[in-house]
Structure 1
Amino acid sequence: MKLTPQVKRILENYEADNAATKNNLTRLLMHGKLGGTGKLLILPVDQGMEHGPARSFAANPAAYDPHYHYQMAIDAGLSAYAAPLGALECGAFTYGSQIPTILKLNNANSLNDVKNQAITGSVKEALRLGCIGIGYTIYPGSDYCYEQMDILQNLIQEAKDAGLLAVVWSYPRGGPFLDKAGETAVDICAYAAHIAAQMGAHIIKVKPPSDHLCLGAAKKVYEDQKIDISTLAKRTEHIMQSAFAGRRLVLFSGGEQTSEETLFNTFQGLNDGGASGAIIGRNTFQRKREDALAMLDKIINIFKS
């Protein structure tokens, strides 16, 4: 497999990783329709656990079957498929060699409103399933954030020793400073990306940032230093800057189901700002398969450009 200049440049940013981890990162970056471009588009399906099965899959009943998601990710030419333990176990033998997989190691559920997640998988199980990496969510700002970060540090060390990637969902939530608008404020998203990078994440997932500024002390700096947050592209540039000046891959979520026009405009702005790609779930599997595949193809073409 001949590496492209884009992939070589990315690999050079991960100076402390062993050969096995870099091989898994290479496999991810060279897979699918975006292979070799330095961009990634990943399908995450942890919503059944997070929001409940009917809320997640009733709009498209075929999506109750984990094989559906494996097959859609493969047919769409996506970079990888990420899911909790049970879903990956359902198709590991049939599909595991056809697409890179990421085991999500912690999950919440909607039966309580505690800003925390339970451990639902392990590095050992990721290896057993042939995954290229692990995924883990932290809620910076929550009452449980330090406990989550302690667990994450141990998991990242274990994953790297085993040659796996660490993908961190960094979603600020809870605490005295964050209202709903604050969760996607540009200063908060930048902070979340930086925290994940400092924790040792190879790949970081955050939400597309709004032009809202949440923290008073940060707002003064943004204004004094004239940091441009006027467009999504400029805000994305700032998020990438906050992830070690772009030395770490940062992917952005697709969020709740919305119109295709809104999605395409969002991803165009993200791409214009230098985003590494996206992780998009509900906006795909809650649509009919043919509509989802067509939509994903357009998103791939946006990031290719």
Structure 2
Amino acid sequence: MRITQKVKKILANYESDNPGTKANLARILMEGKLGGTGKMVILPVDQGFEHGPARSFAANPPAYDPHYLFQLGLDAGCNAYAAPLGALEAGADTYAGALPLILKMNSANSLHPKDEEPTQAITASVDDALRIGANAIGYTLYPGSAYFYDMLEELRELIREAKSVGLPAVVWSYPRGGDISKDGETAMDVDAYAAHMACLAGAHIVKVKLPTDHLEQDAAKKVYEGENVPIGTMSERVAHIVQACFKGRRLVVFSGGGKKGDEGIFDDARAIRDGGGNGSIIGRNSFQRDKDDAVKLLGTIMDIYKDKS
């Protein structure tokens, strides 16, 4: 596998990692239409656990088939495909080695009581990741939840085990629960805090939602306003998230969020590009549409990251 100077520079930021972990990270960074650029578009499909099958796939019934999702990731030229264990097992042999895989290690579900604090259950192991040929593990962390400390300890142990066998870790860091308001889940100060904590826990790639200019914490608001931290535009807010991720020494990608119009998706990608982010994880906005449309959409996003659109 040829490794570009751009990717070599990124790998150099992971100073404690063994060659196996760096090789798997390079495999993801060198894959697909953005291979070698330092940018990524990852296809995540864990919504079956999170929202249920009909809410996830009824809009595009072929997506009920895990093979369709593997093929979508390939046809679109994505850097990787992320999914829970069962979905990856369903295509692991047919698509062995075809594209990098990220095994999502924990999941929640929409049947969880609404009045209880958010948490997730472990649904796979590092051994499972090795067995199916995954190139990384993934984990969702809920900063703000009453279960946060338990989840953090769980994450650290999974990352320790994964690194010991040469697998990098992707952390979905989603603030929610506790005293965080709905607006606070994507507030600038809270989002940057969540990204930073994921880095501190040992994540190689951090995934967060795009932040708004809302400031949730009074103490943080005083600092943002007193230090004149620029957060007025989306690209400025992305740049601040990158700054919170060890000033760009850790890869950070942003969630595509709920279903939205194409221009909104493209505007988000331009803001991520201009703010120095490393890319997008686009799930529902891709697999819930016809494959040809999804491939076209993802291709345009990739062109934006290559400064072609």
Q: TM-score, normalised by structure 2?
A: 0.97
User: Structure 2: which amino acid aligns with 1:160?
Assistant: K
Counterpart in the other structure of 1:273: 275
Mapped to 1, the partners of 2:296 and 2:136 lie a distance apart of 28
User: What residue number does 1:65 align with?
Assistant: 65
Q: Which residue identity lines up with residue 150 of structure 1 in the other structure?
A: E
Aligned residue number for residue 38 of structure 2: 38
How many positions carry a matched residue from both structures? 304
Alpha-carbon offset, residue 30 of structure 1: 0.6
Corresponding residue for 1:145?
148
1:216-255 to structure 2, matched below 5 A, reads: 216-255=218-257
The equivalent of 2:86 in structure 1 is 86
Residue 270 of structure 1 deviates from its aligned partner by 1.0
Match of 2:237, SS state, is helix
Q: Which residue of 2 aligns with 1:158?
A: 161
Q: What's the offset of the Cα at 1:90?
A: 0.3
Matching residue within 189, 200, 203 for 2:202? 200
Cα drift, residue 2 of structure 1:
2.9
Show CA shifts across 1:217-271 (max 9, x none): 0000000000000100000000000000000000000000100011101111111
Counterparts of 1:64 and 1:150 in 2: how far apart (Å)? 34
Aligned to 1:257: 259
Distance in structure 2 (CA, Å) of the matches to 1:7 and 1:85: 28
Q: CA deviation at 1:132?
A: 0.5
CA distance in structure 2 between the aligned counterparts of 1:272 and 1:14, rounded to whole angstroms: 24
Which residue type is aligned with residue 38 of structure 1? G
Q: How far apart are residue 3 of structure 1 and its match?
A: 2.0
CA distance in 2, matches of 1:96, 1:256: 30
Moved over 2 A (4+): none
- Compute the RMSD of aligned alpha carbons: 0.6
* Residue identity (%): 60
Structure 2 unaligned regions, length at least 5: none
- DSSP 3-state at the match of 2:16: coil
The equivalent position to 1:184 in structure 2, one of 183, 186, 202, is 186
Q: Which residue in 2 is equivalent to 1:168?
A: 171
Quote the Cα distance in structure 1 between the aligned partners of 2:251 and 2:172: 12
Q: Does 1:29 align with 2:24?
A: no
> 1:6 Cα shift?
1.0
**1:54 aligned residue:** 54
Q: Deviations over 1:147-171 (max 9, x none)?
A: 0000000000000001001010000
The C-alpha deviation readout for 1:29-88, integer Å capped at 9, x for no partner, is: 111000000011100000011000000000000000000100000000000000000000
Match of 1:251, SS state, is strand
Deviation at 1:96?
A: 2.5
* Residue segments in structure 1 that go unaligned for 5+ positions in a row: none
1:76 is aligned to 76
**Which residue does the alignment assign to 1:134?**
137
Larger displacement relative to structure 2 (164-173 or 107-116):
107-116
State the 1:304 CA deviation.
1.2
**TM-score normalised to structure 1 length:** 0.99
2:10 aligns with 10
2:200 & 2:43 partners in 1: Cα distance?
25
1:125-157 deviation line (CA, Å, top 9, x unaligned): 000000011000010000100000000000000
Q: CA deviation at 1:4?
A: 1.4
Distance 1:266 1:90 in 2: 32
CA distance, structure 1, for counterparts of residue 213 and residue 136 of structure 2: 32
CA distance in 1 between partners of 2:132 and 2:184 (Å): 37
3-state secondary structure, aligned to 2:172: strand
